[in-house]
Amino acid sequence: MEKNVLLQVDHVWVERPGAEVLRGVNLAVGRGEVHALLGLNGSGKTSLALTLMGAEGYRPYQGRILFDGRDITDLGVTERARLGLTLAWQEPARFEGLPVADYLALGMREPERGRIEAALEAVALAPLAYMGRAVDATLSGGERKRIELAAVYAMQPRLTILDEPDSGIDVLCLADIMTLVRRMADEGMAVLMITHRDEMVGVADAASLMCAGAIISTGTPAEVREYFAQRCRPHEGQLGSQPWGSEAGGTYRRVVSEGVCDE
């Protein structure tokens, strides 16, 4: 494991009912690096995120995951969180009646008002307007997404996995999200940013392309975006997403057997 690598995924295979959702995944994320993971919907990106966090049912049957040189393949979610990994879910949680300030403080080692205010400002939410509001259905999807990202920023994890951070966010607000991601890296946090939107990749230091449960290309953001545009986008209209189950009508098998998005 190279000295500057924080997360190392070595030939990881994961099976879920009906299919192998990860097929020999190899991935490295450096310290303080923004690494974009790009791929069509259904390509296995979220399965990888759940595997990295140790979610139940996503234990690799082959391969290993190293974090800061330590093998964490068999560790659970809590143990990984204590080491400094966190995952911002694609669909933020709701906590009926819990004030925003308290929600942000939950993940902080030493909660302080200044850090909470800075976290809200980092996602373009006015602290005075939001600290006392409840994290519940009265917030819009975009507001809840921003608060979820603010909570991640406030806890200062060593590695943040952002699963579709632009989900539920207005296109005009993408710049705010990209600024936050860059700010996290500048403050020493590594970020694995999962997305199906190639415009998000521009903020990254490195990028990887995922298809049919495997990483098929890793390089500069520009290289991966070009590969995605030329080899993956043309198939999106034909195949749509890449679901694994029988309801897909053979789509997954076509993706694999015909080498769609593959070399």
Check: CB of residue 54 under 8 Å from CB of residue 129: no
Residue tagged 């939410």 (tokens): 125
β-strand pairing of 159-163 with 70-71: unpaired
Q: What is the pLDDT of residue 233?
A: 63
**What is the distance of C-alpha 114 from the center of its chain?**
27
Instruction: Specify the pLDDT at position 249.
Output: 47
Q: Which CATH class is domain 5-84+157-257?
A: alpha beta
What residues of the chain score a pLDDT lower than 50?
A: 172, 242-252, 255-256, 259-263
Give the integer Cα–Cα distance in Å for 133 and 139. 9
Predicted pLDDT of residue 245: 43
Domain ranges of the chain: 5-84+157-257
Q: What is the pLDDT of residue 43?
A: 87
